[in-house]
Amino acid sequence: MEAPKIRQEMVKPLLETRFIKVFDLQYAPGKHYYDATRRSGDDLIALKSDEEFRSMSADAATCFVIVETPGDAPRLLLTYEYRYPTGQFLLSPPAGLMDPEDRKAEEPVLVTAEREIFEETGLRLQLDQRDDGLPPDRLFTVSPLVFSTPGMTDECNGLVCAVAHLSDLSSLTQKGAEGTECFDGFELLSREEAMKVLKDGRDKYGNYYSAYTWMALMYFVSDLWKA
């Protein structure tokens, strides 16, 4: 089956605000598909060529943060962040949107991730040789781009892993929250605790969590971050 190719003249704006837009992708006469997006009308992913599609940057970074402290087993660091559409604090990995300046960097998603980790957890990664006796921290791309729910949005995130070596947990803070961000503490999960959250499909309060939290849990318990 030949898939329809969306052209600029087939895109009709329905809603345009500062933070979200909705476009009607009229892929055939009388046929409509809707796209909720943060992108402008001339930057929609549906309009990109195959080459542009394969080389584009993500809209945001989602961070799998693993903390190692002396004498303790590695732990996955998650936050409780208020998610307005659900009206709940949800167990979440640190994440944030890519700034325009980030796109000028050699590895934009890593620049975004490093900033968001600092803002949401207080951890300033030390990626070079250290003088405190601890190994250098690690920051690397897990997947350059994954789509959220491509049946209704073209939004996409890069997945990044950070392995932070800390002498203690005193540097953890959520005071760097900006704009609409609202946090209510951290969750540091051992591998066994992460497995339980995965199996239960709920956090310790019995609440559900996002697919990106599931990804962070799976990546942690799979030990892929150790490679």
Beta strands per DSSP E along 69-193: 75-83, 88-92, 95-97, 138-147, 156-165, 183-189
**Which overall architecture, per CATH, does domain 60-226 show?**
Alpha-Beta Complex (3.90)
- Closest alpha carbon to 63 in 102, 107, 111: 111
Residues 6+ apart with CB under 8 A from 35: 22, 23, 25, 44, 46, 152, 153, 154
- Rounded Cα–Cα distance for residues 115 and 98 (Å): 10
> How high is the pLDDT of residue 4?
85
Tens-place pLDDT, residues 204-227 = 999 999 999 999 999 999 999 997
- Residue 48 CB: number of other CB atoms within 10 A? 15
Tens-place pLDDT, residues 134-185 = 999 999 999 999 999 999 999 999 999 999 999 999 999 999 888 889 999 9
- For the chain, domain boundaries: 8-47, 60-226
> How high is the pLDDT of residue 31?
92
With contact defined as beta carbons under 8 Å apart, do 64 and 160 qualify? yes
Residues 6+ apart with CB under 8 A from 123: 65, 117, 162, 164, 166, 171, 172
